[in-house]
């Protein structure tokens, strides 16, 4: 299975500032079809996960443009600009290039 490693595990952020979360896979996520199936999910307290970003940098339906994704190969980043109180939660990266889809261990975003 592909191992996904996120850093940091906890990220205290001031409201209005930016936050970045890194995700690294132990093998390339480039699929044979030429796409890279790396997604980011948000899980607010007491809620199911919600898809934010797919294929590295594509925002899912209804996701604010404060959320952006970047990266390639084995290294990926989620950036949250102008952090708001509703952004509090745990963020997961997930690869779907190879079965089983695997998730990072999660990064807890909290407000300072």
Partner 1 sequence: EVHLVESGGGLVQPGGSLSLSCAASGFTFRNYWMHWVRQAPGEGLVLVSRINPDGSYTNNADSVKGRFSISRDNAKNTVSLQMDSLRVDDTALYYCVRGASDWIGIDYWGQGILVTVSS
Q: Does 39 bind partner 1 (CB under 8 A)?
A: yes
Looking at the Cβ atoms of 22 and 35, the one nearer to partner 1 is 35
SS (H, E, C) the chain: CCCEEEECCEEEECCCCCEEEEEEECCCCECCCCCECEEEEEECCCCCCEEEEECCCEECCCCCCCEEEEEECCEEEEEECCCCHHHCEEEEEEECCCCCCEECCCEEEEEC
Q: Does 24 bind partner 1 (CB under 8 A)?
A: no
CB of 80 to partner 1, least distance (A): 19
CB of 86 to partner 1, least distance (A): 18
**Interacting residue ranges for partner 1, rule: CB under 8 A:** 31, 35, 37, 39, 41, 48-51, 54-55, 60, 92, 94, 96-97, 99-106
């Amino acid at each position: 299975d592909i191992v996904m490693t996120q850093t940091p595990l906890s990220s205290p952020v001031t409201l209005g500032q930016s936050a970045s979360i890194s995700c690294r896979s132990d093998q390339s996520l480039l699929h044979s079809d030429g796409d890279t199936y790396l997604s980011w999910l948000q899980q607010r307290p007491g809620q199911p996960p919600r898809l934010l970003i797919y294929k590295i940098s594509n925002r899912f339906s209804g996701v604010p443009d404060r959320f952006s994704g970047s990266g390639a190969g084995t290294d990926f980043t989620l950036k949250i600009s102008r952090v708001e109180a509703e952004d509090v939660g745990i963020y997961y990266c997930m690869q779907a290039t190879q079965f089983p889809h695997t998730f990072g261990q999660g990064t807890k975003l909290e407000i300072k």
